[in-house]
Amino acid sequence: MTAPQHRNVRNPKGERAPEAVSADVILDTAARLIELHGVEAFTMRGLAEELGVAVTSIYWHVGGRNKLFDRLVDRLLDQMANLPIGGETAVERIASLARSQRTALIERQHLLGIAHVLRAVQVHVISSALMQFSAIRGAKHEEEDPSLWTDDWPDRSLVEALQSPTDYDAVFEYGLTALLAQLVRTHDRADRST
């Protein structure tokens, strides 16, 4: 089974000219359509019309709508991981990276919602590590100190939970799940609309 390999685009004279369809062409076109009309208005049928191919050609090259969105996110992550960084000192390199990230996100506004989640996840990772590091290296206190929890607290199970040692891995996973819940809901809605 072979996939359709060409799409029709307008050449400078306004005539239709065939151009090879590839995963990159499909992803570039999808990103442009999302940029112009938003994720909610994006359809596989509209993408196929824009490319001048059958929807099955898109599925052949990149998969369904969710797979296409996953690949757009993967692209953004790859681009963010390989941004140019310059400078002589650590501070200059950090500033350079920050500027490169800002420029990349401005150029890819259609994925900015995803970028907000990525930023929130980065902050969560760093704050979780700092919280655990501070607990290990910081001033010690006993969670079981009776002066912290008097006997008249109405919710004894809460007191017992608060007296137990903190499970930093569980706290991290709970926060991560909460941050990613919006992406999961968006992904599920996209599944139902295809």
> For residue range 31-60, what is the model confidence (pLDDT) as tens digits?
888 888 877 788 999 999 999 999 999 999
- Per-residue pLDDT at 81: 80
Domain 1-63 sits in CATH at 1.10.10.60
**Do residues 42 and 33 touch, judged by C-beta distance below 8 A?**
yes
Model confidence at 119: pLDDT above 60: yes
**Averaged pLDDT for residues 169-180:** 87
**Averaged pLDDT for residues 102-114:** 72
- Per-residue pLDDT at 53: 92
- Per-residue pLDDT at 31: 86
- Per-residue pLDDT at 9: 47
Model confidence at 26: pLDDT above 90: yes
Find the range with the poorest average confidence among 2-16, 52-66, 136-150, 169-183.
2-16
**What are the tens digits of pLDDT across the range 58-107?**
999 999 888 888 888 788 778 878 888 899 999 898 899 888 888 887 77
**Averaged pLDDT for residues 20-33:** 89
